[in-house]
Structure formats: structure tokens, C-alpha cells
């Protein structure tokens, strides 16, 4: 059977799960970005304007692409990492999958599908909300492609974490020390160059920064930051390899 066929088989149980729990899954993933939007966009940022690509935008227009990037991270990562950890450590249903005749590549990609679908749905809702709140956003083919890539990369991050992180306390630590700081610092709500130089270098290398800058550029019609896209894709490859490494360790 083809790789695509195997991926479909691997993600089947997650799709049944998504179908049964879609409303609660979407609601829980959307609450955080919506709260950020309300608190920072409408609340603190209602009278703020931002300079971006030589033009002045309302803060909400600047922030929405960042929130979409953030949503692609939180929705893709959290669903997959937690579910995979539970399937591996508690249900042990993951072991059964290892006994089935499907390739390791299809297991990694198949396990990412749930996160990709969920984060695409959440990111789409956030974009729809954004278009309702401001006239500055543009739907472009590049925006759609970038959001798809971003959702895929962060779902692969979820697979990598779910496959490699030892237990729930370590997963919580990963969330607290890596994911949460990224959501605030990686250009989602303010430009990374506002931070001290060393911090800017570090933050620029993290995967959410290129995701937000690519989504923002394509949503606000700025010139596309191709180097950022290359960096994001490189992170995707790294996460895929880390997922495979974790799978090999558990084999």
C-alpha cells in the first residue's frame, strides 16, 4: 500500500476521535487565542497603531496574523503531544500500532494528521474572525499555503514531543518553558526587534517567529520573507526526524 494509504490507516482512530469531539476540541483550542485577541487587541491595543512594511496598521490588524500563527502552534501541538503521550504511556495502544505492517514514516505523518486538521480549522476560524474585525487583511494563495505549512510543522512538533518526552510532568515542563514563551515572544503580538539583540537572535530562530512573519506578510500584502519560510520548513524536517528518532527508540 502507498504511503498515503498507510497514513490514512494510521490516522483513522484519531479521525474517529476528532469526529466525535470536534466542538469541544475546537472550543478549547480557540479560547486562548480569542482571549489574547480580546485582551491585547481590543483592550490594550485599541488605540495603538503599528508600523509594518512602511505602512501604518491598527494593532488588531497587526496582531491577527500573529494570533493565527499562535493558533496553528497551540492547536497542532497540544492535541498531538498529549494524545500521543496518552496512547504511548497510558493506553499503550501505540505499541499495537508498532505491530502492524505500516511504515515508520506513515506513523509519524499519520499521527500528525489530527493536529494538522484541528489547527487548520482553528486557524481558519481565527482568520474569519480577523476579516470580520478589520479590513486590512487579504486572503491570498500564499496565506493559505503558509497557514497549511505552519499547521503541519507544529503538528510535527507535537509528534516529536509526544514521541520523545518521557512523561506528563516533562510534557508540562516543555509546555511551560518552550511553548508558552514562544506564544508571547515570537512576533505574534509585537515585533521581535523590540527585544534586546541577543534575545532577538534567539527568538528569530524559533519556529513560531518565521511562521508569524510569513503569515503576517502574506495577510498584509508585504513582500514574502522567503528565508523565514525556509527556516520554518527546516524546523519541519527537524521535527519529523525527531519523531522518527523517538519511534526508533521505542521500537
Partner 1 sequence: MSNIIEARGLTVRFGDFTAVNAIDLDIEEGIIFGFLGPNGAGKTTSVKALTTMRKPTSGTISVGGFSTSSNPADVRSMIGVVQQNNALDMDITVRENIYCRASLHKVPKPEIEARMNEICDAVGLTPYMDKLPRNLSGGWKRKTSIVCALMHNPKILFLDEPTAGLDTQSRHMLWDIIRLLNSRGITIFLTTHYMDEAESLCDRVAIISKGAITDIGSPRELCQKRGQFCVEYSSDVGKHEYRYFESHDAAREFYETVADKNAVLRGTHLEDVFLEETGRTNVKALQKALRV
Q: What is the DSSP letter of 192?
A: G
Which range of residues in 42-50, 98-106, 135-143, 237-245 is near partner 1 by CB under 8 A? 98-106
Shortest Cβ 26–partner 1 spacing (Å): 16
Nearest-approach distance from CB 93 to partner 1, in angstroms: 5
Residues that contact partner 1, how many (by CB under 8 A) = 22
d(CA 175, CA 80): 13
Task: Give the N- to C-terminal CA distance of the chain in Å, as an integer.
Answer: 22
Provide the β-strand partners of residue 50.
57
**What would the 3-class secondary structure string for 72-83 be?**
HHHHHHHHHHHH
CB of 151 to partner 1, least distance (A): 22
Q: Which of 22, 27, 92, 201 binds partner 1 (CB under 8 A)?
A: 92
Query: Which residue reads 501604518 in cell numbers?
Result: 56
Q: What is the footprint of partner 1 within residues 9-68 (CB under 8 A)?
A: 9-10, 12-13, 16-17, 20-21
User: Of these, 68, 75, 84, 102, which contacts partner 1 (CB under 8 A)?
Assistant: 102
- Compute the distance between CA of residue 244 and CA of residue 231 in angstroms, rounded to an integer: 20
Residue (of 63, 71, 41, 47) closest to 191 by Cα position = 63
Contact between 87 and partner 1 by CB under 8 A: the answer reads yes
Please report how close the Cβ of residue 92 comes to partner 1 at its closest, in angstroms.
4
Residues 118-157 as x/- pattern, contact with partner 1 by CB under 8 A: ----------------------------------------
Q: Is the dihedral of CA 9, 77, 43, 187 positive or negative?
A: negative
Helix or strand (DSSP H, E) at 224: none
| Chain residues in the site for partner 1 (CB under 8 A) | 1, 9-10, 12-13, 16-17, 20-21, 87, 91-93, 95-102, 251
Amino acid at each position: 500500500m502507498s504511503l498515503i494509504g498507510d497514513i490514512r490507516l494510521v490516522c483513522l482512530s484519531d479521525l474517529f476521535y476528532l469526529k466525535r469531539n470536534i466542538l469541544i476540541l475546537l472550543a478549547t483550542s480557540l479560547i486562548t487565542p480569542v482571549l489574547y485577541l480580546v485582551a491585547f487587541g481590543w483592550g490594550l491595543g485599541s488605540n495603538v497603531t503599528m508600523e509594518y512594511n512602511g505602512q501604518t496598521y491598527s494593532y488588531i490588524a497587526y496582531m491577527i496574523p500573529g494570533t493565527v500563527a499562535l493558533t496553528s502552534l497551540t492547536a497542532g501541538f497540544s492535541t498531538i503531544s498529549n494524545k500521543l503521550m496518552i496512547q504511548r504511556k497510558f493506553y499503550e495502544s501505540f505499541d499495537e500500532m508498532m505491530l502492524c505492517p505500516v511504515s515508520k514514516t506513515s506513523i509519524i505523518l499519520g499521527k500528525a494528521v489530527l493536529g494538522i486538521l484541528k489547527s487548520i480549522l482553528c486557524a481558519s476560524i481565527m482568520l474569519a474572525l480577523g476579516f470580520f474585525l478589520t479590513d486590512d487583511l487579504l486572503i491570498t494563495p500564499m496565506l493559505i499555503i503558509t497557514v497549511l505549512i505552519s499547521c503541519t510543522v507544529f503538528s510535527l512538533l507535537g509528534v516529536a514531543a509526544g514521541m520523545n518526552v518521557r512523561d506528563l510532568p516533562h510534557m508540562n515542563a516543555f509546555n511551560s518553558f518552550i511553548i508558552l514563551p514562544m506564544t508571547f515572544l515570537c512576533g505574534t503580538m509585537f515585533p521581535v526587534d523590540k527585544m534586546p539583540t541577543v534575545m532577538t537572535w534567539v527568538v528569530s530562530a524559533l519556529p513560531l517567529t518565521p511562521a508569524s512573519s510569513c503569515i503576517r506578510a502574506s495577510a498584509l500584502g508585504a513582500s514574502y520573507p522567503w528565508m523565514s519560510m525556509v527556516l520554518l520548513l527546516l524546523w519541519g524536517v527537524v521535527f519529523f526526524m525527531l519523531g522518527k528518532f523517538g519511534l526508533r527508540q521505542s521500537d
